[in-house]
Structure 1
Amino acid sequence: MAFHGAIHTRMMRGLFIGLCLCTGLADAGVNKSHAIAMHGEPLYTADFTHFRYTNPNAPKGGSLKLQVVGSFDTLNPFVAKGRPAVGMGATDNSYLYDSLTLRGEDEPFTQYGLLAKTIEWPDDRSWVRYHLNEKARFSDGEPVQADDVAWTFNTLIKEGRPFYSFYYGEVERVEINDPLTVTFHFTRNSINKELPLIIGQLPILPKHVWDGKEFAKAGMTMPVGSGPYRILKADPGKQIVYQLRDDYWAKDLPVMKGRNNFGTISYDYFLDEKAALIAFKGGNYDWRSETNSKEWATAYKGPAFESGKIKTEVVTHQNPAGAQGFLFNIRKPLFQDMVLRKAIGYAFDFEWSNANLFYGQYKRTRSYFENSEMAATGLPSKAELALLAPFRDQLPEEVFTREYQPPKSDGTGRPRENLREAQRMLKEAGYQFRDSNLFTRDGKPVKFEIMLISPAFERVVLPFTRNLKALGINANVVTLDSAQYIERLRNFEFDMMVGSMGQSSSPGNEQKEYWSSEAADRPNSRNLIGIKNPVVDALVDKIIAAPDRDALIVACRALDRVLQWNYYSVLNWYTDTYRIAYQSRLEHPQFGRYVDPGTALDTWWDSTAK
C-alpha cells in the first residue's frame, strides 16, 4: 500500500515538474551529483578513476595479521549489549557493510557515492535523496534496495545504540520513492548542512535477513553484508578472521580501486598491550601503531628491526588531534566547583612528564581542536565576539580578555610555584587545609578516584597524584579490566578518567554527543564530562548550522574558548605524527592529507601476493 502511494506521489511530482518546465522554474536549487561536499565543491570530478591516496595496481591477496587488546562476545555491533568484534563497523571501520557514501580522505569533508550511484539535494539541504547502484548486492546475492536503507535507519533509531537516535535526531522521516531510490526528510527547524553527508555514512543492513528476528539481541550469528569481506572464523575473545570476497560487487568502482587488497585479515585478541608488543616483535602479527612514547623510544629495537624485516615509520599528518585529558565528571558534586577544577590542573607537570616519561615526543594540548585551524588562539576575533557577546554574563571574563594557556612548570617534577598558586586560589575560595588534607567549604575531604583501563598509564598518573597530595587532595588510582571499565563508562560511574575527544577536519553533529546538555545524562553517550551549559549548546548549534567553512571555523573557535576557560578537563598532550611499525612485505601508497595509516589499512597491500 505504501509503495503504491509512493508511486502515485512520484507521478504527481513528475506532473508538477513538467508544468514548471513550461515556466522555466523546474529543479531550481536542486543538485544531483556523484558526490556531496560539506562546503565548496568535491575535489574529484565525476569521471575520476581512483583516489590519489590509493594504488589501483596494488596486488590482491596475501594476508594481514593484526591485534586488539580486550575481548568480544558478539557479531552485532549495532546494539548496546555485548562487546562487538573489531572490524564490524559500528565503532570502527567495517569490512562487512557498505555505506551509501564513502569519505574522501584528502579533503576536509566530502562524501562520494558507494551504494548510492548519485546523490540529490536542494540548496537548503532540507532533504537528501540517494539513487542506489543497481549492481549493489549483499553477500548472499540479494540486491541492495531502498527498503533495506529505510529499514536499517528506522531499526537503528529504535533498537540500535543510543548514538544513532542522537546523531540522526533531526531526520523527520524516510521515504521510499522506488526500489532503488530513497529520500531522507529533515525536520523543518533543522539548519544542518552536515546531515546529507552523515546520512551517507550509515552502514546498510539486509532487511530480508533480519525479518522475524530479534535485532536488539547480541549474539554470534554470522552476518550478511554488502561489503568487501565476509567472516571466515570467529572465536569469541580470541580471534576473528575476514576473507576477501571474489564476488564483491563494488570492487571496480572508482571509490574502491586500490582498496581491500588483502586476501585475509585477522585480529588476535590480547589481554594487555605489553603482551601484544612482545607478540609483534616475535612476528606473530604484521602491523602496529604505537601510542606509548616510552615503548617507541626503547622497545622497537633488535635483530628484526636491524635486518629490515620490521620497518618503523613516523608519519607527519595534518589531522586535528582533538583533545586528551584527565576528564572531570562534573555530575559529581565535588567537581561542580570550577575553582577546584582549575586548581587541580596546576598539579599536572607536563614539562617533567614529557622529558622523563615521553622522551620529549609530545606537545602540550591547549585546545579541544588541537592541531587544526579550529583551535582558538590569541584573543577572540570580531566574528567570534559576535557569537560570544550575547552570553557575556554567563561566561568567565577570561573568554573575552585572555588567551588560554595551561600552566607551565620548571620541569622538576614538583611544580612548587604552580602548587602555591593553586593553594592561594583554593584558600580564597574558602577551602581549608587541616592536617595535610584539603576540605571543601562545608568540611568534606577532597578525595576522588582516577579510573584507568591500561596499567601503562599508571606511570603518568601517579606523579600527578603525588602533586595533588601536596595540595591535600587524595586521588586514588584504580585500573580496571575492560569489561568493568566499559560498564562503568557507559553509566558514568567514575570521578575522573583519562579520556579523549577526537575531532575531524569538519566538526559537526558529533559535537552534540561530546558537549550537549541532551547527551549529558544519556547512558553510553560521549559527553563523558557531563556538561550542561546553555552557552555550549548554543555554540554547538552554530557549528552544525554553519553556512560555510569560515563560519564553521569561527564557531569552533568560540566553543573552544568556552570549554577552555570552564576547566572541564586537565588537558594532556598530543603529537602531529603517527608512529607505525610493520613487516617489510607490507607496502602502502602515499598518504592523503587527512589519512590515518591505522584507519587506511585498506589501501595497503602484501607485496608477496600474486
Structure 2
Amino acid sequence: MRFRHVTRLTHGAIAALLIGAAPAWAEPQHGIAMYGEPAMPADFTHLPYVNPDAPTGGRIVTAEVGTFDSINPYVLKGNPPWQLRFLIGESLMGRSLDEPFTLYGLLAQSIETGPNREWVEFVLNPAATFSDGSPVTVEDVIWSFETLGTIGNPRYLGFWAKVETIEETAPGTVRLTFNTADRELALLAGLRPILKKAQWENVDFANGGLDVMPITSGPYVISEVDAGRSVTLTRNADYWGRDVVPFEKGLHNIDEIRLEFFADETAAFEAFKTGEVNSNREFNVARWDQQYDFPMVQSGDVVKSVIPHGRPSGMTGFVMNSRQPQFADWRVRDAMIAAFNFEFINDAMTGSQQPRITSYWSNSPLAMDAGPATGRVAELLDPFAADLIPGTMDGYALPVSDGTERNRPGTRAALAQMEAAGWTVQDGVMRNEAGAPFTFDILLQQGASENQAIIDMYVESLTRIGVTPTVTVVDDAQYTERTSALEFDMTFGRLAVSLSPGNEQYLYFGSEAADQPGTRNLMGVKSPAVDSLIDTLLTSEDETDFVAAVQALDRVLTAGRYYIPIYQWNDSRLAHARQLRFPDVIPVYGDFNGWQPDVWWWEE
C-alpha cells in the first residue's frame, strides 16, 4: 500500500474557510464560495488534487448490485444507475472537492451576484458545445431550469420554487432573480444540469426509460446499454472543455467506464476476483482484511488503497417511517434503538473495527456537542423547547450495549420504553391494551446481503421483547417504487451530508417535502424547529450562526430517534487494477462524487 500526502482539513481549517460573508461583487468573477472567497485565484490552471499531465486511455469497470430500467437520471420515473447524472451531466459551474462549498467556471466562464445574492448572472463560455457538436445556448439553459424545476426529479423542485424570474440579459448571459432570502441559491443555480432543449421536442421528458439517451455537454457519452445488465460510457474525444476550461484540466482521462450489474454482493465480488471488474469499493473492514488475499492481489495485479477524508459521517442505518402508527411515538422508536445490539452486531460484521455513527454530522466540526445545549445552539432551540423530544436540549447519546448476544441492559430499556408508550408483553407477545400485537415490516433490497445479515441478528433481539417483525425482500424496481411512495415501515437508508449543508436539507428533513413522492425525508419528520433551523443555516451571514444552526439541527434530528445508526466509514477502501492510478494529493472530501473515476487515469 502506498503512502500518500493527504489534504485533510482540521476542524479549525474548515471553520476558517467558512468565516466571513461573501463580498458584494461589482463585476463578474471566476468562482464563488458559500462563505468568503474561492481558495484558487482567477488565473488558476487546474484543481489542486488532479494530475494535470495525466494520460488518457484505459477502462474502469465497476460492480453494481441490482439492476436498472432507465438511463434518464433527471426524472423521478424509473431506476437509473445513480452515477449517470455525475458522469454525463454538466453544469454551469463545477464543485471543488478541496473546499467546503466552492464553485468554479465550467459551462459558464463567469458568475456575478447581487450584493445580497438576490440574483445571480452567468456568462456562458462561447466554446461550450453538446456532444453532438451543437452550441450550448441560453435557450438551453432556461429550458433546463424550467423543465427540471417543474417535471424533473424532486431534488430540483425546491430550488425552482424560489426563482422569481430567469431571463437572457445579454447575448450568452442568463440571470436568475430569487424570491427568497437564501444565500445558497446562487451556488445551486451553478450546479443544475444543462440539457439540450431540441432533443426533447415532442418527447415525454418525464417518462424515463431506456429509449432516449440524454444529450449533454459532458466529457462522457453513453455508448452501449444492455438493459438491466450494463451501461458503457465512452470518453468524448471532441469534448469541448478539456483544453479550454481550467477546472477540467487533468480530469476525465479514462477512455471507457463500464457499470456491470449483479444480482447480489457475492456475485459482484466474485466478478472482481476473476478480473471481470477492475475496481471495487469495500465497505466492510473485516472483509477487507480477510478476503482480499486472492491470486490477483497476491500477484500485484490488484492494488489495495485506503483513502482518508474529512467529511461528515452522514446517516446510514435502518430508518423508521414515523408516518406509520407503529413509529409515530418517539418512545417506540427509542425502544427499537435500545433493542438494536450494535456492539454485538459490529463485532460480528466488522470485528468491531468500525465506529458507530453518533449523529448526522459526526466526524466533523458541525456535529452536535455532548451534554446540554449551550450558547447560540441553546438560543436557536429555546423557542421550540416545549415541543422538542426529550434529550434534545439536555443531551442525547445512543445506548451502548454490554456486547453480549443477549444484551440485557438494552432489552430492559426497550421494554421500559414500550411500556411507557402503552405496550406490554402478554403471553410472550408485545401487545397494547386492546390486545393487538406490535409488529412491523422491514423492507430490504434484493442482493443486499450485509443488510440482510444485520437484520437477521436484529430480529433475534426483537423476539426477546415479544416483537416479531416480517422481512420483505424485493427487487430494485419494487424497492424504488415502494420507498418513493413511502410504503414501508422500516428500511435501510443512507443520507450523505456535507461540510456546507444547504437547500438539500429541505428535501432530507423539511416538513413540506415529508409527504412528497420521491422525498429523501424517508423518516417523515415534520418539525417547526427543523424547518426554522434550515432557514437559519441558509440565511446566516457569518460562520458562528451557520455552525450553531447545523449543530442545533443535528441535535433535533438525532434526539428524534428516527434512524438506527450503524457504523461509519472515515476511510474509503478501494481495490483496483494496478494500472488504475490517482494523484498523491487527496482532497478534503476524499473518495466522493467527482473523484473516481474523474481524477483517475490508466497507466501501463
Q: TM-score, normalised by structure 1?
A: 0.91
Report the residue type matching 1:239 in the other structure.
Answer: S
Q: How does 1:226-305 map to 2 (within 5 A)?
A: 226-252=217-243, 253-305=245-297
Kindly indicate whether residue 594 of structure 2 is the aligned counterpart of residue 602 of structure 1: no
Q: Give the deviation of 1:598 after TM superposition.
A: 6.3
Match of residue 76 from structure 1: 72
Report the residue type matching 2:177 in the other structure.
Answer: H
C-alpha contact (below 8 Å) 2:318/2:493 kept by paired residues? yes
C-alpha contact (below 8 Å) 1:31/1:122 kept by paired residues? no
Kindly indicate whether residue 187 of structure 2 is the aligned counterpart of residue 197 of structure 1: yes
Q: TM-score, normalised by structure 2?
A: 0.92
C-alpha contact (below 8 Å) 2:159/2:185 kept by paired residues? no
Change (3 A) 1:31 1:507: farther
SS of residue matched to 1:33: coil
Kindly indicate whether residue 476 of structure 2 is the aligned counterpart of residue 506 of structure 1: no
Q: Give the deviation of 1:231 after TM superposition.
A: 2.1
C-alpha contact (below 8 Å) 2:145/2:160 kept by paired residues? no
How many residues align? The count is 575
Kindly indicate whether residue 537 of structure 2 is the aligned counterpart of residue 543 of structure 1: yes
Which of 349, 364, 371 pairs up with 2:356? Answer: 364
Which of 45, 52, 58 pairs up with 2:48? Answer: 52
Q: Give the deviation of 1:428 after TM superposition.
A: 3.8
Q: Give the deviation of 1:144 after TM superposition.
A: 0.8
- Cα deviation, 1:27-74, whole Å, max 9, x if unaligned, reads 975452100000011010101010111001100112222222222232
Kindly indicate whether residue 200 of structure 2 is the aligned counterpart of residue 210 of structure 1: yes
* Residues in 1 aligned to 2:79 and 2:123: alpha-carbon distance in whole angstroms: 34
Q: Give the deviation of 1:550 after TM superposition.
A: 2.5
C-alpha contact (below 8 Å) 2:377/2:548 kept by paired residues? yes
Report the residue type matching 1:196 in the other structure.
Answer: A
Which of 143, 163, 185 pairs up with 2:135? Answer: 143
* Residues in 1 aligned to 2:467 and 2:327: alpha-carbon distance in whole angstroms: 13
Match of residue 470 from structure 2: 476
SS of residue matched to 2:552: helix
Runs of 4+ in 1 over 6 A off after TM superposition: none
Match of residue 387 from structure 2: 394
Q: Give the deviation of 1:100 after TM superposition.
A: 0.3
Which of 137, 148, 151 pairs up with 1:156? Answer: 148
Kindly indicate whether residue 582 of structure 2 is the aligned counterpart of residue 588 of structure 1: yes
* Residues in 1 aligned to 2:592 and 2:77: alpha-carbon distance in whole angstroms: 30
* Residues in 2 aligned to 1:396 and 1:86: alpha-carbon distance in whole angstroms: 35
- Cα deviation, 1:447-476, whole Å, max 9, x if unaligned, reads 011111113322111111111111111122
Which of 97, 100, 120 pairs up with 1:108? Answer: 100
Q: How does 1:386-465 map to 2 (within 5 A)?
A: 386-402=379-395, 404-453=396-445, 454-465=448-459
Q: Give the deviation of 1:441 after TM superposition.
A: 4.1
Q: Give the deviation of 1:397 after TM superposition.
A: 4.6
- Cα deviation, 1:405-443, whole Å, max 9, x if unaligned, reads 111111112110221122223334432220111112443
* Residues in 1 aligned to 2:417 and 2:279: alpha-carbon distance in whole angstroms: 48
- Cα deviation, 1:454-505, whole Å, max 9, x if unaligned, reads 1332211111111111111112222221111111111111111121111011
Match of residue 373 from structure 2: 380
Change (3 A) 1:552 1:215: same
Q: Give the deviation of 1:603 after TM superposition.
A: 0.5
Q: Give the deviation of 1:161 after TM superposition.
A: 1.6
Q: Give the deviation of 1:294 after TM superposition.
A: 4.1
Change (3 A) 1:215 1:396: closer
C-alpha contact (below 8 Å) 2:580/2:601 kept by paired residues? yes
SS of residue matched to 2:190: helix
Q: Give the deviation of 1:599 after TM superposition.
A: 4.1
- Cα deviation, 1:265-314, whole Å, max 9, x if unaligned, reads 12222111211110001001211111234432322112211111101122
* Residues in 1 aligned to 2:419 and 2:78: alpha-carbon distance in whole angstroms: 47
Q: Give the deviation of 1:163 after TM superposition.
A: 2.2
* Residues in 1 aligned to 2:401 and 2:24: alpha-carbon distance in whole angstroms: 60
* Residues in 2 aligned to 1:301 and 1:588: alpha-carbon distance in whole angstroms: 22
C-alpha contact (below 8 Å) 1:314/1:577 kept by paired residues? yes
* Residues in 1 aligned to 2:59 and 2:553: alpha-carbon distance in whole angstroms: 45
Change (3 A) 1:588 1:61: same
Q: Give the deviation of 1:564 after TM superposition.
A: 1.9
Report the residue type matching 1:536 in the other structure.
Answer: V
Report the residue type matching 2:359 in the other structure.
Answer: S
C-alpha contact (below 8 Å) 2:343/2:400 kept by paired residues? yes
Match of residue 342 from structure 2: 350
Larger Rg: 1
- Cα deviation, 1:292-340, whole Å, max 9, x if unaligned, reads 3443232211221111110112222111110112211011111111111
C-alpha contact (below 8 Å) 2:89/2:193 kept by paired residues? yes
Flag structure 1 segments of 5+ consecutive residues without an equivalent. Answer: 1-26
Change (3 A) 1:407 1:50: same
Kindly indicate whether residue 487 of structure 2 is the aligned counterpart of residue 524 of structure 1: no
Report the residue type matching 1:596 in the other structure.
Answer: D
Q: Give the deviation of 1:254 after TM superposition.
A: 1.1
With CA pairs under 8 Å and 6+ residues apart, which has the higher RCO, 1 or 2?
2
Flag structure 2 segments of 5+ consecutive residues without an equivalent. Answer: 1-22
C-alpha contact (below 8 Å) 1:126/1:185 kept by paired residues? yes
Kindly indicate whether residue 157 of structure 2 is the aligned counterpart of residue 165 of structure 1: yes
SS of residue matched to 1:327: strand
Change (3 A) 1:566 1:588: same
Match of residue 22 from structure 1: none
Change (3 A) 1:167 1:273: farther
* Residues in 2 aligned to 1:426 and 1:264: alpha-carbon distance in whole angstroms: 54
- Cα deviation, 1:223-282, whole Å, max 9, x if unaligned, reads 322111222212211222112122111002210111110111122221112111100010
